[in-house]
Structure 1
């Protein structure tokens, strides 16, 4: 990169993760890229995170919010403070490598129709394995279940370089998401009704429908702790994942598919709820049932969002090629296909 390298705004949305900021801000500030700023947007933390930034990281721009607006709301409010041509959403529990940013910005500069990119995401604790949140690029199946190159459901593959090719993907992870700011302003920001979880997949779906592309650049590598704010066992996360997935389908599916896919997806979610009951996991059962009922009871709201969403979008045939036409649930749980390389698009 030359001195004319485009400016990049790296935004960390923080909520009570002071310990991660202490650990991961120093390597981030050592990033080998000539023109970037780091912004910590604090979502109403009570653990002294803001004081830490003021005292120890004076070259970091601190933005303080009065309460926790969630992932979507917090990031949306932070964008106006970003001066870069590119905006990076970076989780506070991500450790970057020195050259993580250069390959992505170079690629996006050379490919003006690319909306977003992500690096290869490896586990912070098992550094030879892909990490759950994003792995090596995301896809969804026909019923809206997300999965990744290197991670299907809870099975994370060992990284042996098998996914080191740069490829177009359906979605890129919000754990480390590099976006072109002008396209973000065009297609609209994150959907704040999601609060957290699946909002980046919804955003990427809209980008696809607008004809923009999303890529994974495995030449760039970061390490993710995962579950820094909400652990996988949290029932609030269960609720958000199920509800938001249904909203996302209603907002983005083609009209012809809308009335066939959503009933099947609701049936699959009911099966999930029954599975929790059989495991004597009442809390997660309630979370799934609450997600289904919230989705159904607020149909007027989701229908309105769909209408407004579809008005702004132009249909693009490329989207369909990036959606797995089979059921990843069936392939994984019935056929035992645990690896992305086992799937046939």
Structure 2
């Protein structure tokens, strides 16, 4: 398989980070893909972004302003569908605080071009940790990381996250987009498991050619995010009727509950939201239950 710029659609999901978004757009354009379509999903309903405000010289920029915050799951779902509707072959996904560095796309082209399988589903540019190792993710009811030396060779894995991830629209056509009902968290792993169910391969390219500011992680995990992590992980296990996932959820929740009691702030609200998240998962409740803005 191969990647051509005219067959590529780039998706960027943004929320209240206009300067980070501009940096990401310019980093994408530095890959030499002026023929590609770039679709920006703006989840901030208080601001109507205009393409000319970001780059007046780039005419292939599509801005989709949302009337409410649909978070990363909803944004990526709409972006994946937009790339499919444009008739393109690949969707390359980013959050506004992650961006490719020079040579990222060329490395993907080279690596993907060496794979003969017609069912490549997802290819992720792997981040490097503070020890200079690339992270691989596998699934044992919960994501299990392992670490390898950087290289330009694809490694097959169970899971990837969406930042810097290339997704075949053949896969999107067959299994649909990621599930917006997760709202925030877990949707990437659900999508990878569905891709595996459909017989598609998932690869990590462990070269570290991606910059990730991790702006959403500054200051620790807020209570609303713990709610979605708890609810969505249990929902995934129940939906798939997978006891390994449910057992991993129990173990994880016991560990994090202990950590809340011992170390976290806002203990009462965190514990209440975790209990509510469990109840909602059992009821199969989906979507945006709590607006993150309520807790900012």
| TM tier relative to shorter chain | 0.7 to 0.9
TM-score, normalization by structure 1: 0.70
SS at match of 1:171: coil
1:89-128 per-residue CA deviation (whole Å, 9 max, x = no partner) reads: 11111131122112324443543221000012246xx6x6
Gaps of 5+ in 2: 287-296
CA deviations 1:61-87 (Å, max 9, x no partner) are 212221111212222223343232100
Determine the structure 2 residue equivalent to 1:155. none
Q: How many Å separate the matches in 2 of 1:149 and 1:89?
A: 23
Match of 2:142 in 1: 145
In structure 2, do the counterparts of structure 1 residues 90 and 194 end up closer, same or farther at CA, with 3 Å as the change threshold?
Answer: same
Evaluate the alpha carbon distance shift between residue 101 and residue 4 of structure 1 in structure 2; reply closer, same or farther with a 3 A threshold: closer
CA apart distance, 1:191: 1.3
Contact 1:101 1:220 in 2 (8 A): no
Q: Does 1:209 align with 2:193?
A: no
Equivalents in 2 of 1:40, 1:34: separation in Å?
Answer: 15
Q: Would the aligned equivalents of 1:243 and 1:295 in 2 still touch at CA under 8 Å? A: yes
Cα 1:80–1:259 change in 2 (3 A) is closer
Q: Match for 1:117 among 123, 132, 144?
A: 123
Give the aligned partner of residue 257 of structure 2.
Answer: 273
Q: Evaluate the alpha carbon distance shift between residue 225 and residue 116 of structure 1 in structure 2; reply closer, same or farther with a 3 A threshold.
A: same
Structure 1, 66-75 or 281-290: larger mean CA deviation: 281-290
Residue-by-residue CA offset, 1:281-311 (whole Å, 9 max, x unaligned): 4133333222222222x15x69xxxxxxxxx
Q: Deviations over 1:259-281 (max 9, x none)?
A: 56525633541343233223364
> Cα 1:270–1:25, aligned 2, differ >3 Å: closer, same or farther?
same
Structure 1's unaligned 5+ residue stretches are 151-160, 303-345
Which residue in 2 is equivalent to 1:292?
Answer: 278
Question: Does structure 2 conserve the Cα–Cα contact (< 8 Å) formed by 1:171 and 1:214?
Answer: yes
Show the counterpart of 1:29. Answer: 29
2:150–2:208: 8 Å Cα contact kept in structure 1?
no
Distance in 2 (alpha carbons) for counterparts of 1:23 and 1:5: 20
The alpha-carbon deviation at position 136 of structure 1 amounts to 2.8
Aligned to 2:290: none
Matched, 1:167 2:155: yes
CA distance in 2 between counterparts of 1:230 and 1:54 reads 30
Give the 5 Å matches for 1:9-20: 9-20=9-20
Give the TM-score normalised by structure 2. 0.80
Residue 5 to residue 261, structure 1, CA distance change in 2 (3 Å): closer
Aligned-residue CA RMSD (Å): 2.9
What is the CA-CA distance between 1:228 and the residue it aligns to?
A: 3.3
Secondary structure at 2:99 match in 1:
strand
Would you say how many aligned residue pairs link Structure 1 and Structure 2?
A: 275
**Partner-residue secondary structure (3-state), 2:49:** helix
CA distance in 1, matches of 2:3, 2:175: 30
Who is 1:100 aligned against? 104
CA distance in 1, matches of 2:139, 2:261: 26
* CA deviation after TM superposition for structure 1 residue 41, in Å: 1.4
